[in-house]
Amino acid sequence: MDWKTFIAQIINTLAWPVVVVFIILQLKDKLTELIPRLKRIKYKETEIEFMIEKLTTQEMKIIQYKSENIKRYQATLDALVNISFRSALIEAYRLLEVSTSKAILKAFPQQDSITLRKPLQLEILLKYKIITDEEYTQFTDLRAIRNFAVHKEDFNVKKEALLAYINTSLSILDKLETYSSS
C-alpha cells in the first residue's frame, strides 16, 4: 500500500464521523427538541424517523380569548371552515388587518390609518411594543400564507393547518382588540 492509498483510506474512514460531528455541532440547539421525538434510527442506508405531534380539532379550540368580539369572530370563522377553507383563511387575515388599523388609530389618533400601508402599520406596532417580535413574525408569515391562498388557483390545505392558522390569527387579533378597547 502506497502513501496515497493510505491517505485515501483514512479520509474514506473518517468522512462519516466528521459529517456526523459537524451536523451535531450545527444542530445542537435543536437536538434537545428532536431527541424526545426520535422514533427510529437505521444505520446502513441511513434512515431517521421522528414523531410529529398533531393537535386534534378540539385541542385547537381550547384557547380562551379575552375579547367578546374574538369569540364571535371564531364562530364566524368556524362556520366558514365548513364552507370554504380559502374563504376562512382570507377572512381571518382580513380581520387582522382591520384590527391592526384600529390599534394604529388608538396609538396615534391623529394618524389617518388609510395613508399607512399595512406592512408599515406592523412596523409601527412592533416599534411601540404593541406586538412582540414573535407576533410580528407570525403576522408576516400569516400574510405570506394569505397571499399564497389568494393567488394560487390550486390552493389546498389540511383542516389542521387551517385551524392552526385561524388560532394564530385569533390570538394576535385578541391582543390587538384588547389594546384597542383599553
Which of 67-71, 111-115, 137-141 is predicted with the least confidence, judged by mean pLDDT? 111-115
- Mapped onto helix, strand or coil, the DSSP state of residue 47 is strand
Residues 32, 119: one domain? no
Closest of 70, 93, 101 to residue 143, by C-alpha: 93
Are 64 and 99 members of one domain?
yes
The answer on 116 and 37 residing in a single domain is: no
| pLDDT of the residue at 53 | 59
CB 95 within 8 A of CB 169: yes
Give the pLDDT confidence of 77-119 residue by residue, as tens digits. Answer: 888 888 888 889 999 999 988 888 888 888 777 766 455 566 6
The CATH number linked to 108 is: 1.20.120
Q: Is residue 135 domain-shared with residue 67, that is, in the same domain?
A: yes
Residues 75, 146, single domain; the answer is yes
Number of domains in the chain: 2
The whole domain housing 41 covers: 3-50
Average pLDDT over every residue of 9-31: 79
* Residue 45 and residue 77 share a domain: no
Q: What is the pLDDT of residues 40-66, one digit of tens each?
A: 767 676 776 666 555 454 444 545 666
